[in-house]
Amino acid sequence: MRVLIIAILVCLAATPGSSTLINHIGTYTNWTTSWTALPGLNDPVGLGDEHDFVGDSSNPGAYWADNGTYVFFRFRVDVAAVTSTTFRDAHFVMINVAGYNYPAASGSNTNGVLPDVAFAWDSKSNDPLKHGLEMLILSRKDNTWNGINFNDIDTNGGLKAANDINGDGRTTDGYVRTDDGQATANFGTTTFMDYAISWNYLTNYTVLARGQTWSIGLASIANATDHNNLTSDIGGGADPTSATTVGWSAPINIPEPATDLLLVLGGGITWVFSRRKRR
């Protein structure tokens, strides 16, 4: 009996910790299960906390996906277990759109590379009616990341207006969840942070569209809202003092809607059948 108990304890000790999935903004039931790693965003251990992006070739630091209705972003932070009070910060997914001239903003930038827009989970003041998941536009330009600043797309930091994510009473524009207990080869146990953004929202309220080419960046701010400068970590091996030319993923091409292709194919099939009938 003693041998059996010891064997059971050994097995339990060897069993990897299970993950805990927490829905922080809304509850979405059709999250993708097929993620594509974003090259260029792997990051060594730096801060060693929930603001620290980590990843390598064995366990990539960032991913994206598209199911036709939502575009998804996933990134890895260096925290093992998450509760409802773990995050009181801001985490950004920044996008540089190829060929798009970023909006007018204060400050100056001479290196020619800036984020055009960003999605941010503002967990410092995680009131879904005022903050939560937000769509941001550039408000201050700089040559280094810690001089960059964003404003809400609705230009109101304390209100969900019609053109903000989940604004004007909508609740399905965007979602945030975390999935902790993610074992890695070189970073111990980590957490995935996932964003889902509706294409319907993006098409109607933002400059983002299918057919564009995006470069993705990651940033975090500790213990502050998303309207402060980027002070904690930047993905891709960069840090807040790095130039804005580094810390970007390799460009990704955003495909046109699959429905367009299906319509073309459907029209071709219909034409073939009609030809056969006429014969």
Flag whether pLDDT at 2 surpasses 90: no
pLDDT beyond 60 at 206: yes
Q: Is residue 9 part of a domain?
A: no
Amino acid, single-letter form, for residue 145: W
Tally Cβ neighbours within 10 Å of residue 267.
Answer: 10
User: In this predicted structure, what is the pLDDT of residue 173?
Assistant: 97
What pLDDT sits at residue 263? 36
pLDDT, position 177? 97
- Give first-to-last CA distance, the chain, whole Å: 81
**3-state DSSP call for residue 268?**
helix
More confident residue, 12 or 36: 36
pLDDT for the residue numbered 14? 32
**Residue 4 in domain:** no
| Structural tokens at position 82 | 């998450």
Do 50 and 86 touch, CB atoms closer than 8 A? yes
Residue 48 amino acid letter: G
Q: pLDDT value at position 128?
A: 62
172 within domain boundaries: yes
Q: Note whether residue 212 is domain-resident.
A: yes
Compute the distance between CA of residue 213 and CA of residue 167 in angstroms, rounded to an integer. 27
Q: Is residue 6 part of a domain?
A: no
What's the domain range around 20? 15-270
- Domain count of the fold of the chain: 1
| CA-based nearest residue to 195, from 88, 102, 94 | 94
pLDDT tens for residues 255-267? 998 654 443 444 4
